[in-house]
Amino acid sequence: MKNILITGGAGYIGSHTCKALAQAGYNPITFDNLSAGHKHAVKWGPLEIGDIRDSEALSKVFKKYKTEAVIHFASKIVVSESVREPESYYDNNVNGTLSLLNVMQTHSINVIVFSSTAAVYGYPETNPIEESHPLLPINPYGETKLKCEELLEKYRDTHGINYIALRYFNAAGADPTSELREEHEPETHLIPLLLKAAKENKPFSLFGNDYKTPDGTCIRDYIHVTDLASAHIKSLEYLINNQRSQCLNLGTGKGYSVREVLEAAKKITSKKINEVISERREGDPDSLVAKADAAQKILDWHPQQSDLHNIIRTAWQ
């Protein structure tokens, strides 16, 4: 059984990926400082508590488990917080990735799957967005993810570390068996905020209804977290077998407006959700939809769970 180090494995996407790895016959080793992850979410494989900027702690884990590859989720991810605290995002995301790559090099580990983001593109010049789209992030979160991609490219060229950087669009949904769920604090994602409003009978803030879309609300590409997890396993196996580095979009190629998601949530929960129209949030493009043909072709990856109703149903469940 291959030992795979999962940085940030106690978080939302990381924990779902650990479950998928275990089901595929791997032994996921979670390395997490629990600043945003949850100890109770580590149910598949051991948990080692530590910070990715601590190279000594990382080195001990690599030695202890004889790790063969890395899936790197550990990151600060809240866009608004990154604008207020850019220095902490550069320190955690960029310096942490640099620390991880240096320790990988020391231990002759040459495979890493990296959790990136569509935020590296900034305002879309075209929709759907291809991987060749200009990389012009508009916030420190996106900037740090792009810096990490650049580090990966340099370490591939100089040290032979092969990578796949997966640029997610909107991760959503929950484990269909309800063993895991989304648990961010603070929560900034649309669907859990909608469901919280439904459950607690509280108003839901809809940020802007005057976008250049058919119903005036933002359009986004939502992808089920279990489909994201499967893409990480396929990326891992592709790298092990092919050793060709890639940056790949992960999305469905279909966008839904905030209004469409709101109406679907009302139907699935059978709850009335009272909306309050608020001002637009700075930096919200009208539409963000992925062109994910490359991931489908290269990885033979096809989303199975990402129907909008299934995403909301599993999250509500």
Residue in 141, 211, 238, 256 annotated catalytic: 141
Non-local CB neighbours of 177 within 8 Å, separated by 6+ positions: none
DSSP-assigned letters across all residues of 204-219 = EEEE-S-SSSTTSS-E
Number of neighbours of residue 199 by Cβ within 10 angstroms: 12
Nearest-10 crossing angle of helices 308-316, 258-269: 50
Burial 229-241 (b: 16+ CB within 10 A, else e): bbbbbbbbbbbee
Residue ranges of E strands in 75-179: 111-117, 162-168, 170-172
Backbone angles phi, psi at 290, to 5 degrees: -85, 145
Annotated active-site residue 141? The verdict is: yes
Residue 107, judged by CB atoms within 10 A of its CB (0-12, 13-18, 19+), counts as middle
Grouping H, G, I as helix, E, B as strand and the rest as coil, residue 71 is: strand
189 token code pair: 């994602």
Sheet holding 69-72, edge to edge: 47-49, 27-32, 3-7, 69-72, 111-117, 162-168, 246-250
Q: Cα(265)–Cα(195) distance, rounded to whole angstroms?
A: 7
233 close to 16: Cβ distance less than 8 angstroms:
no
Catalogue the active-site residues. Answer: 141
